[in-house]
Amino acid sequence: MTASSQDNSIGRPNTHNLNVAKQEYQYNYTHIPPIAMVDQLPPGEKFTRSWYFLLARELRVLFVNTLITNRGNHGSKSVRDDVKKFILEVLFKGAIPFRIKIIARLIQIVPQFLIKGISKDFRELDDLFFTILKENGVLILRDALNGVIARLYEGQPTGHVTSIKDYEKLVPEMELTAIANTFQQDEVFAYMQVAGFNPFMIHRVTSLGDRFPVTDEHYQAVMGTEDSLTAAGQEGRLYLADYGILDGALNGTYPREQKYLYAPLALFALPQGTDPNRLLRPVAIQCGQTPGPDYPIITPKSSKYAWLFAKAIVQIADGNYHEPVSHLARTHLFVGSFILTTYRQLPASHPLSLLLRPHFEGTLAINDAAQRILIAPDGGVDRLLSSTIDNSRVLAVRGLQSYGFNSAMLPKQLQQRGVDDPNMLPVYPYRDDALLVWNAIHEWVLGYLKLYYPTDQDVQNDAALQAWAAEAQAYDGGRVPDFGEDGGIKTRDYLVDAATLIIFTASAQHAAVNFPQKDLMSYAPALPLAGYLPASTLKGEVSKQDYLNLLPPLEQAQRQLNLLHLLGSIYYNKLGEYPTLHFTDPQVQPLLQAFQSHLRQIEATINQRNQKRPVYEYLLPAKIPQSINI
């Protein structure tokens, strides 16, 4: 079956439907200039009630934990009493307009909702919102929620800690994340580079040059005198994490304390030998791009707190690269451009449109919310990250514009960084698990597209497809850098690779950067999102209190806990589970079943791998959503 005989929309698009779509899905280049985003969120792109159910469930946990942390029990006999007292307080202090009916209804509904949660038929959630909306309207609901949040954070713990244990007071009603017990270990620090929240930084190097003057003395103090820096470089055992993109960033001060961002260089090495379970070891850190007195080389053999200080600086840089670049730019914004292009240029019945649309659910909505709230002035990014909000947005732009589409294919990315060979770098869970999922998606996409494009000529003759490709890269379109083959799509192989990259990014790649936010990033000492002392502190003797003062104060740590726990907790839809009867072509069903079977095999393989390595579960297919929706 050829493309043209399969569907009359291929080659001859339904111009009426597309004209409607072009009115609803319009580009905006000023939300995060000059990135292509949706101008106004179309009605059909809003979050579903099922998504709100998941959100409410997690917000309930965070609300109760925060309330108990900030208010204590005040002599109450139960959490329910604490919640009732709080609701009364916000009502009588004006966070919600004073109406007797509202007060009575909220006192009845809210404690039950917050303590017991909500049932899957959403009755409690509907009751809660209907009570307020009926009396006040949407704008007052928004203002009321802002007022409640402000009251919730009154009385919160503040200031820098005198012990790491002080951070544990922030989770009286929640489980302390496991990383809290291990993050200071060198093995865990190194493992973050291959199985953490941002496992894309290391690249293999043969030597370091004058910019990072690590000596054999530095190296051998860590790796042993039988090894050498030269031998490690020649044998492919040296790996560098370079955060140079952060150099010169503007340090932020919001909400009130001076923050610092750093551009460190971190050297890791693999021990000699043939053990397939050899793990990277951290060798040396320089907390700036230029060597000198301000940026001494720190190693595990330096003083205890100097080494902890330097490792924390690397983690701060990693977090400040992860959020605007690896996460926002290279998943959310990367996929967002293709959503607009797909809806504007491909009819709903077009085979590529059918394939891609389930992987777009919720993405425009979350991107729109992010640009209005999260990455706006006074938002979560402004509050928590090191640099100014404008600088964070610039980093996102630089991150996206430097991410050429054709070089973003996973195998190419790994090859470019010199980390593709498992014989040279044996333990790299992100690489190994991601390739399994990439290959499964590629196999599914290839089988599917072969049904409709038997030859390259069929690809070239599809007018709708070529219009899609042209708009994706156009300046007045998606502005996707380095997309296409000579301005269009010439071969089926390229089309398969392109669709694979879009689907992989919307599912697995986003899962790899999003869900570690809860487990690895929500606990501020393990991943400080900002530094509160300059790197030049390392010029002198670093004390325990210097190290603790580098870390976020408690009020920032609490906000970080709440935001990142929430963002890393919403699992809505699952890779490979398309809506019932989404594909009406009977030829597709055996291909889809094979894809789903392949994902189950990958699940088993990863579980087996986790028996022999420190556990990495972020690319288990059962934990990969179908789309970016949080």
Q: What are phi and psi for residue 491, nearest 5 degrees?
A: -130, 155
What are residue 488's DSSP bridge partners? Answer: 485
Cα–Cα distance list, 147 to 57, 136, 155, 518 (Å): 20, 14, 15, 26
Helix ranges restricted to H, 224-303: 229-234
Q: What does 41-90 look like in DSSP terms, one character per residue? A: --GGGSPPHHHHHHHHHHHHHHHHHHHHHHH--TT-SSHHHHHHHHHHHH
Please report the pLDDT score of residue 141 as a whole number.
45
Mean pLDDT of the 622-630 span: 97
Measured distance CA(477)–CA(20) in Å, rounded: 17
User: What is the value of pTM for the model shown?
Assistant: 0.92
The CA distance from 31 to 29, in Å, is 6
Average pLDDT of the chain is 90
Count of beta carbons in the 10 Å neighbourhood of residue 420: 18
Rounded CA separation 349/365 (Å): 23
- SS3 for 448-482, per residue? HHHHHCCCHHHHHHCHHHHHHHHHHHCCCCCCCCC
Q: Which long-range contacts (CB under 8 A, 24 or more apart) does 293-298 make?
A: 293/539, 294/535, 294/536, 294/539, 295/535, 295/538, 296/538, 296/539, 297/212, 297/213, 297/214, 297/218, 298/538
Are 260 and 251 in contact, with CB atoms under 8 Å apart? Answer: yes
Query: Looking at the predicted structure, is the pLDDT value of residue 6 above 50?
Result: no
Q: What is the pLDDT of residues 171-183, one digit of tens each?
A: 998 999 999 999 9
Residue 17 has a pLDDT of 87
**Angle between helical axes of 49-71 and 138-152 (0-180°, round to 10):** 30
Percentage of residues of the chain with pLDDT beyond 70: 86
Q: Which helix (H) or strand (E) holds 246?
A: none
User: What pLDDT sits at residue 137?
Assistant: 42
pLDDT digits 0-9 by tens, 67-117: 889 987 544 556 667 776 776 676 556 555 545 445 555 555 555 555 555
DSSP class of 391: H
Nearest to 442 by CA among 313, 245, 602, 284: 602
Contact partners, residue 502, CB within 8 Å, separation at least 6: 335, 338, 356, 359
Report residue 9's pLDDT band, with 50, 70 and 90 as the boundaries: very low
Q: Which of 318, 303, 291 is nearest to 547 (CA)?
A: 303
The Cα angle at residue 51 between residues 47 and 57, in degrees rounded to 5: 135
First to last CA, the chain: 38
Kindly tell me the sign of the dihedral angle through the C-alpha atoms of 357, 361, 364, 367: negative
Average pLDDT score over residue span 485-513: 97
Q: What is the pLDDT of residue 121?
A: 52
Let me know the angle formed at the C-alpha of 588 by 598 and 575, rounded to the nearest 5 degrees. Answer: 45
Q: Six-digit token pair at 157?
A: 């713990």
Cβ(156)–Cβ(69) under 8 Å?
Answer: yes
Average pLDDT score over residue span 185-208: 98
Domain boundaries, the chain: 3-40+323-515+559-567+577-623, 49-152
Position 367 pLDDT exceeds 60: yes
Give me the CATH code for the 3-40+323-515+559-567+577-623 domain, please: 1.20.245.10
DSSP string of 176-235, one letter each residue: PPGGGGTTTSHHHHHHHHHHSS-TT-EEEES---TTS---HHHHHHHH-TT--HHHHHHT
8 A C-beta contact, residue 28 and residue 39: yes
What are the Cα distances from residue 313, in Å, to 89, 285, 464, 531, 563?
41, 9, 49, 7, 21
Q: What angle do CA 389, 393, 396 make, to 5 degrees?
A: 145
Q: What is the chain's alpha carbon radius of gyration, rounded to the nearest angstrom?
A: 26
Longest alpha-carbon distance in the chain: 79
Cα–Cα distances in Å, from 372 out to 122, 329, 334, 375, 380? 27, 16, 18, 7, 11
**What pLDDT does 77 receive?**
57
Q: Which two tokens stand for residue 502?
A: 């879009």
| Residue 149: pLDDT band with limits 50, 70, 90 | confident
**Mean of the pLDDT values across residues 264-270?**
98
CB 600 within 8 Å of CB 492 = no
Q: What is the mean pLDDT of residues 211-236?
A: 97
Model pLDDT, residue 7: 42
Do the beta carbons of residue 66 and residue 152 sit within 8 Å?
yes
Q: What is the pLDDT of residues 318-361, one digit of tens each?
A: 999 999 999 999 999 999 999 999 999 999 999 999 999 999 99
